[in-house]
Amino acid sequence: MNIDFWPKNPKPNFQNAEMNITSAQLTVTNHQHKNKPNSNPIYPELVEGIKANKVPFFVMALLVLFAVSCSKRPANTVSGANEKAESNQQASDTNVQSPNNSQDPNIQKPARPAPIRGGVRPEHKHPAFTERIKERARMVASQIKARDVNDPNVLKAMQTVPRHAFVQHPNKNIWSSNLERAYADHPLPIGFDQTISQPYIVAFMTEAMELRPDYKVLEIGTGSGYQAAVCAEIAQEVYTIEIVEPLAKRSEKLLKELGYKNVFVKAGDGFFGWPEKAPFDAIIGTAAAERIPEPLIEQLKQDGRMIIPYEDSLGFQHLVMITRDEKGELQKKNVMPVRFVPMTGEVQKKQR
């Protein structure tokens, strides 16, 4: 039975409404059945009733609202999700460098360390470099860094150089004792009335020279070769002189075995320096003298630094820092009290 609720006056034109309903209904149909292309439209009876003007007005209005709501909500939801995803992706992209960005010439790249001019670097292939690493780490932490030696190059050098390889002694019993105490906080005897310096003093004097990778260093008093090896880890070349010839030969052999190809050893009197290789960026002395050898001052480069033990007339020793400024004038400063073996040779002769 068909019931007509429309009044007898002329009926309103629902052509546009019918078109909107049909369009909205098709939108809902396509959304709900997008994975079913062969499905029939939903509510076919309602659609036919609308076309025949047999559906009450309020029902038709509800259908319009329902269809419009269904047709817009999923679209807005999907669109919002897409916008959110795109926003998240853009935010994520700001934290992730694109592979193509590495080729952009406008992007600043990390600075590379300056290449060292010529020469060779120490090799660390000898087994000694992989031995007693933890002991060296404790030595650096408790004896050196704890006493305010903070130059990272110095700390790395002290961590790298195997100190236990430099404690040789002609007496096997003393040598064996030295091996046990190689990383202790004091000097050790190495024969020929010489010692290997306390680790802290080695690090302190190395830091005081402010070494750079292109520096040429002169050492007076090779001794065990340990100080030369530490300097060679930082500087380009190290020239070292030892007045005790057997000790010079022993240290030269050891340094070569350990791969220090940038260390050059000469047996001779350190008082005269090494004029053939002068001038030097830094000079270090490891034996105390009652006067600063004049040839060493002459071989110090402008803006160079020299640190050497000096013994006064009362027998007290101090580390003395000597610098040459741009005008060639010397500046001397007592740094710290120390105790070194005496420098021998020409320096012991009385000045006329």
Q: Which residues are catalytic?
A: 197
Between strands 330-338 and 263-267, the pairing is unpaired
Angle at 268 between CA 325 and CA 245, to 5 degrees: 140
Asked if 347 and 289 count as a contact pair (C-beta separation under 8 A), the reply is yes
Residue 214 identity (one-letter amino acid): D
Cα-based distances in Å from 28 to 43, 71, 78, 289, 317: 11, 5, 14, 102, 98
Helix (H), strand (E) at residue 87: helix 57-95
DSSP 2-56: ----S-SSPPP--HHHHHHHHHHHHHHHHHHTTT-TTPPPS-HHHHHHHHTT-S-
Match 């039975």 to its residue by tokens: 1
Match 């500087």 to its residue by tokens: 235
